[in-house]
Amino acid sequence: RAQQRPCPGRRCLHLRRGRQPDRAERRLPRQRGGTARGAVDDFSKAIEIDSRFADAFVNRCVAYEDEGKPDLAVKDCTAAIALNPTDAIAYNDRGVAYEKTGNIDGALADYSKAIELDPSYRDAFANRAVLYDHKGEKERAIADYRAALSKNPALSDRRDIETALERLGTKP
């Protein structure tokens, strides 16, 4: 049964103990128009209820990123990975947090691990492509941009990827 707690002024995230949300639910607080602070609070409550709830750590990681707290984000995604070492999303999100802390090598390693775990994970390819591009590793960037493009991105993402490929002197 869902735990019921009043949340004046904002919506609550209600979880059943032991219930794992599907991918569409993983970003619920952000999708429902909540704030990063509200998401941190919601996922902190979820972690209090079940400290083995890996998805709550991943989601709080993203909320910490949104709050500009990448060190806390890295910590939470690392906790999620310890609980579920095959979660490509946790590696990708920790890569984003590492990137925000300036740990580019850590970010590249995590994006690569996310791709290893889920070769269809478009965001990990796109994130790694951007880093290779910034590092001047043109061929690797092109390969990853093309891989991301082959995964049917949204129109705005498709345009960004095509622009990056054209800038690198190649056709999409």
| pLDDT, tens digit, 9 for 90 and up, residues 157-172 | 999 999 999 999 998 8
Place 23 in a pLDDT band, splitting at 50, 70 and 90: very low
pTM of the model: 0.79
And the tokens for 68? 């500009």
pLDDT mean over 148-155: 92
pLDDT mean over 97-102: 97
- pLDDT at site 22: 38
How far is 131 from 58, CA to CA, in rounded Å? 22
Which pLDDT tens digit goes with each residue over 57-96? 999 999 999 899 999 999 999 999 999 999 999 999 999 9
- pLDDT at site 33: 55
How far is 76 from 55, CA to CA, in rounded Å? 10
Which pLDDT tens digit goes with each residue over 31-62? 345 677 788 888 888 888 888 989 999 999 99
Distances (CA, A) of 167 to 56, 149, 157: 39, 15, 15
Residue 169 φ then ψ, to 5°: 85, 25
